[in-house]
């Protein structure tokens, strides 16, 4: 389904990138298999999942079939709060791998989820100068060219103005 010569534009917003290759196997769209599919399905619904171990109580990410802390296999999916703190980041100005090249600069980051696990992701809606270690973030979801939805993070709105996290 390569849209060559798309003149109509029935959907209002057309990305500038021609061709639209799915770019499987990049950091943005890692392999999806039967085990990780629930995680991706949840992301498509706007929910971030982590795995939590019933034996030791700790959560982990990326999803594994056993607990990386105690090796128990008694682990299950759990919906994360979507809140995180910025641990470290790197603003990428050049990346030859599609689709990243068209996107530079972007902010690759590692965040600490409120549930504990550390997660590689991307920071959006935040200027480089405004990035701070430990700044509060909230998850957002971005649909990639191939239709895969990936969680990214953006600065959390002023917490005092929110009575409770919206879990919808
Ligand atoms: Zn465990």
Q: What is the pLDDT of residues 111-143, one digit of tens each?
A: 999 999 999 999 999 999 999 999 999 999 999
Instruction: Please list all protein residues whose beta carbon sits less than 5 angstroms from ligand 1, which is an ion.
Output: 53, 55-56, 67, 69-70, 72
CA 156 to ligand 1 centroid distance, Å = 30
Mean pLDDT, residues 62-72: 96
Alpha-carbon gap, residue 9 to 102, rounded angstroms? 20
pLDDT on residue 82? 97
pLDDT band at 164 (very low <50, low <70, confident <90, very high): low
Distance between CA atoms of 154 and 147, rounded to whole angstroms? 21
Tell me the domain boundaries of the chain. Answer: 37-157
Collect all residues with Cβ–Cβ distance below 8 Å to 137 and sequence separation of at least 6.
83, 84, 85, 86, 111, 123, 153, 154, 155, 156
What's the maximum distance between 2 C-alpha atoms anywhere in the chain? 57
């Amino acid at each position: 389904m390569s849209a060559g010569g798309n003149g109509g534009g029935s959907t209002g917003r057309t990305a500038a990138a021609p061709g639209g290759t799915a770019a499987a196997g990049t950091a943005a769209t890692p392999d999806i298999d039967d085990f990780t599919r629930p995680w991706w399905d949840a992301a498509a619904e706007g929910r971030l999942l982590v795995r939590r171990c019933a034996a030791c109580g700790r959560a982990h990410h990326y999803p594994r079939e056993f607990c990386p802390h105690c090796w128990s296999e008694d682990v299950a999916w759990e919906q994360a709060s979507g809140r995180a703190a910025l641990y470290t980041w790197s603003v990428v100005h050049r990346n030859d791998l599609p689709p990243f090249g068209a996107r530079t600069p972007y902010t690759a980051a590692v965040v600490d989820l409120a549930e504990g696990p550390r997660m590689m992701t991307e920071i959006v809606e935040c200027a480089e100068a405004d990035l701070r270690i430990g700044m509060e973030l909230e998850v957002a979801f971005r649909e990639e060219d191939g239709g895969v939805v990936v969680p990214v993070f953006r600065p959390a709105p002023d917490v005092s103005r929110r009575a409770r996290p919206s879990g919808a």
